Amino acid sequence: MTFPKYETLVLEPRGKHLLLVRLNRPEVLNALNTKMGQELTDLWTRLGADAGAVRCVVLTGTGERAFCAGADLKERDGMSVEVWRAQHEGFERAFIALVVCPVPVIAALNGHAFGGGLELALCCDFIFAARNARLALPEASRGLMPGGMGTQNLPRAVGERRAKELILSGRPIGADEGHAWGLVNRVCEPAKLLEEALATAQQIADNAPLSVRQAKRSIHYGLGMDLLTGYRFEIEAYNRLVDTEDRREGVRAFVEKRRPRFEGK
């Protein structure tokens, strides 16, 4: 698949099926500005419409200090209410496009993730973090509140009471505390972060892509349903895989004691 050349994102194909995406505004700690919101929306929408050979994405930041410092408040300084709300609607489209993207996305927090930066990571499927990363939703200290699904995704990750503590106090936590709370899947040494994230991405990409996408949908949408309704959704997703070439290939490969060759068909 061919992507446009973005101003605020760097795309690096890694092998046949992996895509490394870097937030690329290191001079402002990769803060989200209007252009980055537009480009993230475009990227996730393109992957959702036709991912081509891409089977898994790793999202990280450029530099060693920050994954993303949140919204660019210097850009926002002096904005009218109308312009602020219009900009935020653009950010909303980016968050939604990421959440509904069928391709798995792993956040690799190479440094601090504050505000909308942490919310962007929480919209990914799961999070690896460098040991030196700090995580926070400090919006209440600036007269705001999280507006990038933070009040929805954080309690789903850490529970209601811990989410309230972090959001209402605005205090930052370290990667190890985030791991203990269930916000972060794995804490990595900074030099090993991308290696470990890409290795996990490769494990995902080696599996049947249709199976991965159906399972991702079932988990995501099932969490919004009661158990039996969610199970019915799961079985609908499951049955779509029975009559696929990848399912037949997976069974043949198991019987023949070889690695399967999945084609996404």
pLDDT of residue 216: 97
Question: Over the stretch 20-37, which tens digit does the pLDDT of each residue have?
Answer: 999 999 999 999 999 999
- Write out the DSSP string of 75-105: HHTT--HHHHHHHHHHHHHHHHHHHH-SS-E
Express as a percent the part of the chain with pLDDT over 90. Answer: 93
**Average confidence (pLDDT) over 185-191:** 98
- Confidence class for position 73, pLDDT limits 50, 70, 90: confident
Active site amino acids: 119, 139
Give the residue from 13, 22, 6, 23 showing the smallest Cα distance to 54. Answer: 13
- Contact indicator for 98, 116 with CB cutoff of 8 Å: no
Give the residue from 163, 160, 48 showing the smallest Cα distance to 105. Answer: 48
Decide if pLDDT at 75 tops 90. no
**Average confidence (pLDDT) over 190-206:** 98
Decide if pLDDT at 1 tops 90. no
**Alpha-carbon gap, residue 69 to 236, rounded angstroms:** 40
**CA–CA–CA angle 73, 74, 76 (5° rounding):** 60
Instruction: Please check whether the two domains, 9-205 and 208-255, share a CATH topology.
Output: no
CATH fold of 9-205 reads 2-enoyl-CoA Hydratase; Chain A, domain 1 (3.90.226)
**Average confidence (pLDDT) over 2-16:** 94
Question: Over the stretch 229-256, which tens digit does the pLDDT of each residue have?
Answer: 999 999 999 999 999 999 999 999 999 9
Question: Over the stretch 126-144, which tens digit does the pLDDT of each residue have?
Answer: 999 999 999 999 999 999 9
pLDDT of residue 115: 97
100, amino acid identity: V
Decide if pLDDT at 19 tops 90. yes
Query: What DSSP state is assigned to residue 32?
Result: B
Decide if pLDDT at 118 tops 90. yes
**Average confidence (pLDDT) over 258-263:** 92
Question: Over the stretch 76-115, which tens digit does the pLDDT of each residue have?
Answer: 888 899 998 999 999 999 999 999 999 999 999 999 999 9
pLDDT of residue 74: 85
User: What is the domain partition of the chain in residue ranges?
Assistant: 9-205, 208-255
Express as a percent the part of the chain with pLDDT over 70. Answer: 100
- CATH architecture observed for domain 208-255: Orthogonal Bundle (1.10)
Question: Mean pLDDT score of the chain, rounded to an integer?
Answer: 96
